[in-house]
Amino acid sequence: MTKPLHDEIQDQASDMPRLGRKTALAFERPCFRERVAALAGKSAYREPGTGSGTGHMRAIPSDHLVAAALAYARKGPDDIGPDIAFDIATQTMRHKGKICAAVGAALIANYQRDRTRRYMRPFIGNVVWAGYVQVVELPMIVPKPDGMTVDEWRAAVNVAATVMQSLGEKSLQLAERAHKKREREAA
């Protein structure tokens, strides 16, 4: 039996070298949402010394702080990585159309064989939507379309989810580096 994609990604993350600041529990790595919150100036329970702590930051909505923090990771107008990171962090579907269209087009373009491309074309919308739901951890189930086996469905959804998760992770890492660079320049 295969492990869920979320567990596979967590296993891969634990094997990766630790990037970012040290946590109070050195053997644990903060989850994606905690890292985005810390980047946006909000406190996380693992890092009690971080966060705004002043009244002026409370007037700014959290979604705006997250969007501003991730803006430093945007490479251009077509970069969907920060949008994926935003949707994962806030568990909203604000950028679902843009993300699903871009990932679907990229997956269809990258299928090597014409036969696979023709086979997947009618299912790609469902596949990418299911991957998006899995990555953003939305409380819904996307049904498998008729014409696909269960194994094909799982494999295709895992590919789409892995692509989205890695784009969001890379954007968060870029935003963290940009934030640290600004901190060093300000000091």
For the stretch 154-181, pLDDT in tens is 999 999 999 999 999 999 888 888 888 8
Question: 185 with 83: CB under 8 angstroms?
Answer: no
Tokens of 181: 């660079």
Question: 167 with 15: CB under 8 angstroms?
Answer: no
Q: Give me the chain's average pLDDT, please.
A: 77
For the stretch 112-155, pLDDT in tens is 777 777 888 899 999 999 999 999 988 899 999 999 999 999 99
Q: Which residue has the tokens 């644990």?
A: 28
Question: 107 with 159: CB under 8 angstroms?
Answer: yes
For the stretch 22-78, pLDDT in tens is 444 445 667 777 777 777 776 555 555 544 455 555 566 777 777 777 887 888 888
Calculate Rg over the CA atoms of the chain: 18
pTM of the model: 0.72
Q: What is the pLDDT of residue 28?
A: 64
Q: What is the chain written as a DSSP string?
A: -PPPHHHHHHHHHHHSPP-SS--SSTTS---HHHHHHHHTT--BTTBTT-S--SHHHHTS-HHHHHHHHHHTT--STT--HHHHHHHHHHT--TTHHHHHHHHHHHHHHH-SSHHHHHHHGGGHHHHHHHHHHHHHT-S--PPPPTTS-HHHHHHHHHHHHHHHHHHHHHHHHHHHHHHHHHHHHH-
Domain residue spans of the chain: 5-186
Torsion 3-7-155-131 (CA) sign: positive
